[in-house]
Amino acid sequence: MTDHPQPFDLSRVKVLPLSRRKNLLQLEEVLVDPDSEPAPLDDAQARLVQQAADDLVHAREQGASAMLIYGAHLVKNGAARIVDCLLREGRLTHLATNGAGAIHDWEFAWQGASGESVKANVANGTFGIWDETATNIHIAILAGALGGLGFGQSMGKFMGDDGANLPTESELRQAIAASPENHLSPARAELLQTMIQQGLPAGTHSVAHRWRHGSMLACAYGHGIPATVHPGVGYDIISNHPIFNGAAIGRAAETDFKLFAGSVARLEGGVVLNVGSAIMGPQVFEKTLSCVNNVRLQAGQKVISGHTIYVVDIQDGGHWDWTQGEPSIDHPAYYLRFCKSYSRMGGTMRYVQLDNVQFMHHLWHRLRTC
């Protein structure tokens, strides 16, 4: 008889404080001054950035969505202050990132540093086993869920408020018993279980975020702009901890998927900036756009159109002109998924081969003169 593997017991994982980690990034060293002079562009890059700026201006004049979908490197490369300027001036209406983007975002806000050597730390069993990161992000989303908040807004509120307030175990039990069918009952049960298992006390959990100016999620929350996080369960280092709760993460991600779709529903004539998100961005976008088009067609409306998608990455785009549509299946560029997916999403897709922060920096310089 073949032995079957048993679920791994995460309670056996020995977590360590972040103070023990060698951080690869210091926020004040990477944070870009929005008013500084950006690195020069070639003519083709400059034209594309100017087109993006013009399209953003037009989108906001029409009241359409202007969405920034970004990967973790935009955070790690210090674009927070540039994004804050764009949010403050009303140039963007939605931020969206993946789980890693939220993790680096929080670590910068809390300790002013982030990043570790994956290769070295996996080998010695310390990659991602950092207590404060997993604990505080879980507290943020568990507490936020009681107010119906998703992942991104829970994180923004947690950083903006410098912590969260947790109800007593008795209050949670009473609320569940009084109305077990209530939509908040699962969130209350998850928080209750976590408080018991992890020994989390009720009341105020004060967590000072002295570097919140380095957090895009905190900036979005402060400006009242929707920010969503789209994690994969088991993808991120917040899984490497006894507190790991896939139900809480999934619930927060579900809320954010719906909020993201709400912004896509307003994308007629709008703009999507997909900056360095090769997987999450195109995958979440195509599903939400399909949902939105489904509902519009039921109502006798046309599908979303007139939108422009800018895909920004440092790869060469497969040596293909994506304004001509997708290549044939025998062309290598066909397998550059993030370009191919967005090229199928209606509207106009333009590929910009450029460093992510450089793109955002130049975009801000052009927009602030409009």
pLDDT of the chain along its 370 residues, tens only?
Answer: 568 899 999 999 999 999 999 999 999 999 999 999 999 999 999 999 999 999 999 999 999 999 999 999 999 999 999 999 999 999 999 999 999 999 999 999 999 999 999 999 999 999 999 999 999 999 999 999 999 999 999 999 999 999 999 999 999 999 999 999 999 999 999 999 999 999 999 999 999 999 999 999 999 999 999 999 999 999 999 999 999 999 999 999 999 999 999 999 999 999 999 999 989 999 999 999 999 999 999 999 999 999 999 999 998 888 888 888 889 999 998 888 889 999 999 999 999 999 999 999 999 999 998 7
Residue 176 lies in a domain: no
Q: Is 80 helix (H, G, I), strand (E, B) or coil?
A: helix
Provide φ and ψ at 227, rounded to 5°: -135, 130
Structure tokens at 327: 């290549």
The token pair that represents 337 in the structure block: 């998924």
User: 3-class SS at 226?
Assistant: coil
What token pair was written down for 208?
């000072």
Q: Judge whether 158 and 222 are in contact, CB under 8 Å.
A: no
Give start and end residues of each alpha helix (H) in the chain: 27-30, 43-61, 72-76, 80-88, 99-111, 118-123, 131-145, 151-160, 169-178, 185-198, 216-223, 246-264, 280-298, 337-343, 356-367
Residue 98 inside a domain? The answer is yes
Region of residue 363 (phi > 0: left; psi between -120 and 50: alpha; otherwise: beta) = alpha
The answer to whether position 187 is within a domain reads: no
Asked whether residue 218 is assigned to any structural domain, the reply reads: yes
What is the domain range of residue 275? Answer: 16-167+202-367
pLDDT at 335: 87
Residue 189 forms part of a structural domain: no
Give the whole-angstrom CA distance, residue 146 versus residue 167.
10
Count structural domains, the chain: 1
**CATH code at position 152:** 3.40.50.10690
Per DSSP, 239 falls in state G
Q: How many CB atoms lie within 10 A of CB 123?
A: 10
Structural domain contains residue 5: no
**Spatial separation of the C-alpha atoms in residues 68 and 312, rounded to whole Å:** 11
Burial degree of 35 (CB within 10 A; 0-12, 13-18, 19+): exposed
**Residue whose pair of structure tokens reads 């209350």 in the numeric block:** 188
Place of tokens 């991104």: 152
Residue 183 lies in a domain: no
Residues belonging to the chain: 370
**How far is Cα 291 from Cα 296, in angstroms, rounded to an integer?**
9
The pLDDT, as a whole number, for residue 370 is 76
Check residue 319 and give its pLDDT.
Answer: 87
Distances (CA, A) of 332 to 278, 319, 326: 16, 9, 11
What does residue 273 show for φ and ψ, rounded to 5 degrees?
-105, 110
The reported pLDDT for the residue numbered 2 is 65
For residue 150, the Cα-to-chain-centroid distance in whole angstroms is 11
Residue 209 lies in a domain: yes
Cα 330 to its chain centre, rounded Å, is 33
| pLDDT for the residue numbered 318 | 86
Query: For residues 215 and 202, what is the distance between their CA atoms, to the nearest angstrom?
Result: 27
CA dihedral 194, 195, 200, 202 (to 10 degrees): 140
Give the DSSP H or E segment for 205.
strand 203-206
Q: Which residue has the tokens 């369960």?
A: 233
What's the pLDDT at 4? 87
Joined tokens for residue 186: 């699962």
Instruction: Give the CA-trace dihedral at 237, 242, 247, 251, to 10 degrees.
Output: -50
**CB neighbour list of residue 9: distance below 8 Å, 6 or more residues apart:** none
